[in-house]
Structure 1
Amino acid sequence: MTSYLFKNVRVADGSAAEPSEPIQVFVDGYKIAEVGKNIPASADETIDLTGKFLMPGLIDCHAHTIAAESSFARNAELPDSLVAARASLVLRNMLMRGFTTVRDLGGADYGLKCAIEEGIFASPRLVICGKALSQTGGHGDFRGRFNSKPEVRWGLPLGALGRICDGVPEVRRAAREEIKGGADFIKIMANGGAASPTDPIHYLGFSREEMLAVVEEARNAGTYVAAHLYTDEAIHRAIHAGVHSLEHCNLIRRETADYAAAEGCIAVPTLVAFEALASEGASVGFSPDSLAKVEVIRSKGMESLTIMRDAGLPMAYGSDLLGALQRHQSEEFVIRGSVLPPHEVIASATSVAAKLLRMEGKIGTISPGAFADLIVVDGNPLNDLSLLTRQGQHMTLIMRGGVIVKHV
C-alpha cells in the first residue's frame, strides 16, 4: 500500500474548542504510523495541507444502510439482490460524506459486511446488530391492524428491519441467532415508534424479564444491547435492565438522564430524522398518523440535548434516515450545533462514537496505531459545522483505511 505524509495540517477532532497547531501525520499502509511536528520518515506521497483542517473519519452510530425505501414494509418485500445492490449505493454515498464507519441499527447482515471487507464496493466499515428484536405489535412489526398473517420469524429477507420474538425463551434464541450470524451487538425495540403502524409512542416494548434475558445473552457474548427509546419511562426501565446504548431519547427527563450517566450509558440522539420527516414525510409515504407521532417526538428533541448534556450523559452521533431522506445525514451536525458547542458535536461523531462502538484508539482519532480514516476539510469546522454538510462538498480528501477514495 501507498504511504502518505500530510504536512502543515491543523487537526479538528472534537477534543478541544480550537484546532491544533500545524503538525504532520504519517500514514503507512492502512494505519496512522506517526503524528508530530517533524516526522523524518519518507513517504511515497507528500500532501501539503496548508490552510486546511484534518479530521478523523466521521462515525454515524444510528443508520439503516439497507433502507433504500422509506417504508420498511415495502423494503422487506424486495429481493435480497436488489436490496444489496441499493445498499452498496447508500453506503458509498455515506463514505463520500466523510463517514468512514457506520453502525447499522437493523437489517444489514454479515454477508454485506464481508462484501465491504473484501473491497467489492467502496463503503464505510460496517458495525451491525443483524435484525432488531421486536415483540408482536412492536416497532418491528409492520403488518398493520388488519393483517393477521403470521409474522415471519426465521429466514428473514435482507430488507427487513427486524424479527418478532415473544417470551423469554424466544427472545434468548433470537439474540443467540443474531450473535451466531455475526452481530456485533443486539438491538431491541423497547418503545413505540413513528414508522410502525400499531404502536403509539408511549407503548412499552418487551417485559422486564425479556429485556433482562436479552441483556444477559449480549453480555454472555461480550457485547451490549442498544434500545429504540423515546419516553422517559421506557428509557428508565431499559437502563434498569442493563441496556447500554440509548437510541433517540427525545422525551428524557433530567432524573433519568442522571441515572443513565451514572450507569455508564451512551445516548444516540437522531434529531435530523424527525426534522426531515416533518418537512418531507408525506412525500415519501408516511401516513398522517405516523406524522402526528413524529411531531410529538420532534418537538422535544432540542430540549433533550440540553438535558443530557447537563447530566453529563455522553451523546454519540446518529441520523436514522430512510430512503431518499438519507441525503440529510450530515445535517445532524448543524441541528446539534444550535444547542451544543461545535467541538462537542464533532466529538459525538469521533471519540464518543468510537467509545460506544468499543473501538477506541482504532477509529475517531488521529493517533499512532489508529486506522487511517481521515478527511480533509476546506475550512474550519469548529467555526462552521455546515462545512460537514452538502454531501461532502467541502471535503477535499477522504481516506478510509489508508486508501484515498476522494481527492480534489
Structure 2
Amino acid sequence: MRRIEADISRRQMLGGMSAVVGMFAGFGLAPQDVQAQTPGAPILLTNLRLFDGETLAMREGVEILIEGERITALPPVGQGPQDAQRIDCGGRAVIPGLIDAHWHATLVGVSQIAALTQDIGFVHLMAGREAGATLMRGFTTVRDMGGPAFGLKLAIDKGAVTGPRIFPSGAMISQTGGHGDFRLLSDLPRFPDTPPGNIERQGVALIADGVDAVLRATREQLMKGASQIKIMAGGGVSSLYDPLDGVQYTEAEMRAAVEAATDWGTYVSAHVYTPGGIQRAVRAGVKSIEHGQLADEESVVMMAGEGAWWSIQPFLADEDSNPKPDPIQQAKQAQVFQGTVRAFELAKKHGALLAFGTDILFNPAGTASQGRQLAKFARFMSPLEALHKATGAAGSLLALSGTRAPYDGRLGVIAEGALADLLVIDGDPATDLAWLDTPDASLRVIIKGGRMFKNIL
C-alpha cells in the first residue's frame, strides 16, 4: 500500500509540476532541472577539501554526509555509509552556499522607472526569472531588504520557481520625505484621507510618521511574514529629495519599530550612511546597520560595543556601481564611494561584525556582478575572511530572526545538523576569489536543501 500511495503521489506531483512548468516556461521561469538522485538515499560527498564557513582554514580528511535536507555527519574519509549515493568531488573545494545579506529580490531585475510605473505582474515575473539566476550564481540564501518578496518566497519554497531561500523584510518603512518616499512633488501635500501611492499599494515601501504609525507599519509587515524589519534611518542615493546627511526618524519612532519587532522575537535593520543616523539607530536598539559607508570612528566603536551587525557593500567607483542617471543621485553616490575604503579600515580596526551584501538595485545588467562584488572584499581582508562574511558571518546575522526565521536550521556553515546548502567549486578559496566571477564554469555542483540543482562534475 505504501508503494501504491507513493506512486499515486508521484503521479499527482508530476501532473502538478507539468502545469506549473507550462504556465511559466514561456517566460523562462520553469524550475531548473534537478539532477537525478536516488530517492531517499543519503548523499556522500567524497574526495574534497572543505571550508566550513567558520574556521578560516581549509580542512581535509573528511567527507560530507547529507540525508534529506540536512548535513548529518562529517565522517572521516572512507567511513561513510556504504549505501550512500557517492559524489566524487575530484579533490575540489566544497564551501557553504553563499548568502547575500542585502538583496532586493523584486527590485533588482527591473529599472527604477519600471518599478515605479509598470504593472506589478511584470515586476514579479522579472523577479522570478532573476531568482533562478541568483541560485545559479551560488547564492542559496538572500536577506531581502525591502520589496514585495513574500509571493516569490512562497513560490520558491513550494518548488514552482527556482531560487534562493528568502528572508523577507516586506515594505521598507520610511518617514515622509525619507529614503522610501518616492512620490513626485506634485503628489504633495498628503492628507489623512489621501489614498496610498503605487509604491505603497504594491508593498515596496510604506510611509509612516509618528510612533503609532510606525508601530502599525511594523506590525503589518510582521503579520505578512517578515523575518526582520527594515526602516530608513537616513538619506539615500536612489531617492531624489532627502539629503544624504539627513537623519530620519526620531529615536522614539525607531524604538517603536524595535519594540514591535522584539515582541515578535525578531529585530530591526536600518538603512543609514552617516554617523548621526547610525548612532541614533544603535541607541534605539537596531541590530543591523545597512551600508554605513560614511561612519566615523565613534560610530564604529558604538556598533562594535553593542554587538550590532554591519551589513556593508563594496561601493566603489567602478563598472559595477548601480547606474544613477540623475545628477542629484550621482553626487550622493560619489560621497558614498569616498567613504567605502575608510569604512572597511575602521571595521577591521575595531572588530565590527561584518556581513556581506550587494544592494544591487534597479540594475538588471548588474546582477551578474553579484559574485564579483564578494571577491572585492578580498581587497580589504584575506580571501577566506571575505568568504566567511558571505557564509558563517552572514548566517549568524540571519539567526537574529530567531523564531521568525523561515527555515529551521543553521545556514552558511558545513556542520552536523546544518541545512545542506553546498557548492563544489573549481578554484582555491584560500588564495583568491576570482572564480566567483565565472559561476557557469566554476560552480560544478550547487546543492540547496539536499537537492542538486546543478552537477557538471
- TM-score calculated relative to the size of structure 1: 0.93
Q: Is the 8 A contact 1:211 1:241 kept in 2?
A: yes
Deviation at 1:160, TM superposition (A): 5.0
In the aligned structure 2, how far is the partner of 1:173 from the partner of 1:288? 35
**DSSP 3-state at the match of 2:262:** helix
**DSSP 3-state at the match of 1:51:** strand
Residue 99 of structure 1 corresponds to which residue in structure 2? Answer: 139
Q: Deviations over 1:148-176 (max 9, x none)?
A: 27475489668653111111111100001
Pick from 365, 368, 372: which aligns with 2:413? Answer: 365
Match status 1:281 vs 2:323 = yes
In the aligned structure 1, how far is the partner of 2:385 from the partner of 2:152? 32
In the aligned structure 2, how far is the partner of 1:372 from the partner of 1:14? 13
In the aligned structure 1, how far is the partner of 2:243 from the partner of 2:447? 43
Which protein is bigger by CA-based radius of gyration?
Answer: 2
Match status 1:345 vs 2:386 = yes
**DSSP 3-state at the match of 1:15:** coil
Residue 397 of structure 2 corresponds to which residue in structure 1? Answer: 356
Q: Is the 8 A contact 1:51 1:379 kept in 2?
A: no
- TM-score calculated relative to the size of structure 2: 0.84
Residue 355 of structure 2 corresponds to which residue in structure 1? Answer: 316
Residue 41 of structure 1 corresponds to which residue in structure 2? Answer: 81
Q: Deviations over 1:54-95 (max 9, x none)?
A: 000000010001014554453033223222211111111110
Pick from 212, 225, 243: which aligns with 1:200? Answer: 243
Q: Are residues 392 and 230 of structure 1, via their aligned partners in 2, closer, same or farther at CA, if it must alter by over 3 Å? A: farther
Match status 1:78 vs 2:118 = yes
Q: Is the 8 A contact 2:310 2:352 kept in 1?
A: yes
In the aligned structure 2, how far is the partner of 1:61 from the partner of 1:251? 19
Pick from 230, 240, 247: which aligns with 2:283? Answer: 240
Q: Are residues 14 and 32 of structure 1, via their aligned partners in 2, closer, same or farther at CA, if it must alter by over 3 Å? A: closer
Pick from 256, 260, 266: which aligns with 2:299? Answer: 256
Q: Are residues 144 and 71 of structure 1, via their aligned partners in 2, closer, same or farther at CA, if it must alter by over 3 Å? A: farther
In the aligned structure 1, how far is the partner of 2:83 from the partner of 2:169? 39
Pick from 127, 135, 145: which aligns with 2:167? Answer: 127
Match status 1:25 vs 2:67 = no
Q: Is the 8 A contact 1:68 1:75 kept in 2?
A: no
Structure 1: gaps (5+ residues): none
Q: Are residues 16 and 369 of structure 1, via their aligned partners in 2, closer, same or farther at CA, if it must alter by over 3 Å? A: closer
Q: Are residues 84 and 66 of structure 1, via their aligned partners in 2, closer, same or farther at CA, if it must alter by over 3 Å? A: same
Q: Is the 8 A contact 1:95 1:122 kept in 2?
A: yes
Pick from 377, 386, 394: which aligns with 2:434? Answer: 386
In the aligned structure 1, how far is the partner of 2:317 from the partner of 2:358? 9
The count of residues paired between Structure 1 and Structure 2 equals 404
Match status 1:64 vs 2:107 = no
Match status 1:335 vs 2:383 = no
Q: Are residues 311 and 189 of structure 1, via their aligned partners in 2, closer, same or farther at CA, if it must alter by over 3 Å? A: same
Q: Are residues 272 and 401 of structure 1, via their aligned partners in 2, closer, same or farther at CA, if it must alter by over 3 Å? A: farther
**DSSP 3-state at the match of 1:209:** helix
Q: Is the 8 A contact 1:75 1:159 kept in 2?
A: no
**Pairwise CA RMSD:** 2.1
Match status 1:54 vs 2:94 = yes
- Aligned identity (percent) is 34
Q: How does 1:100-179 map to 2 (within 5 A)?
A: 100-148=140-188, 150=190, 153=196, 161-179=204-222
In the aligned structure 2, how far is the partner of 1:381 from the partner of 1:172? 44
Bigger Cα displacement from structure 2, 132-141 vs 39-48: 39-48
Q: Is the 8 A contact 2:116 2:198 kept in 1?
A: no
**DSSP 3-state at the match of 1:296:** helix
Bigger Cα displacement from structure 2, 63-72 vs 300-309: 63-72
Q: Are residues 406 and 100 of structure 1, via their aligned partners in 2, closer, same or farther at CA, if it must alter by over 3 Å? A: same
Name the aligned partner's letter for residue 222 of structure 2: I
In the aligned structure 1, how far is the partner of 2:384 from the partner of 2:195? 45
Deviation at 1:220, TM superposition (A): 0.9
Residue 377 of structure 1 corresponds to which residue in structure 2? Answer: 425
Deviation at 1:275, TM superposition (A): 4.1
Name the aligned partner's letter for residue 362 of structure 1: R
In the aligned structure 2, how far is the partner of 1:298 from the partner of 1:70? 23
Structure 2: gaps (5+ residues): 1-38, 400-404
**DSSP 3-state at the match of 1:54:** strand
Q: Deviations over 1:196-216 (max 9, x none)?
A: 010111011111111111111
Pick from 288, 301, 318: which aligns with 2:340? Answer: 301
Q: Are residues 103 and 158 of structure 1, via their aligned partners in 2, closer, same or farther at CA, if it must alter by over 3 Å? A: farther
Name the aligned partner's letter for residue 281 of structure 1: P
Q: Deviations over 1:223-251 (max 9, x none)?
A: 00000010111111110111001101101
Q: Is the 8 A contact 1:269 1:318 kept in 2?
A: yes
Name the aligned partner's letter for residue 142 of structure 1: F
In the aligned structure 1, how far is the partner of 2:212 from the partner of 2:111? 30
Residue 274 of structure 2 corresponds to which residue in structure 1? Answer: 231
Name the aligned partner's letter for residue 188 of structure 1: I
**DSSP 3-state at the match of 2:236:** coil
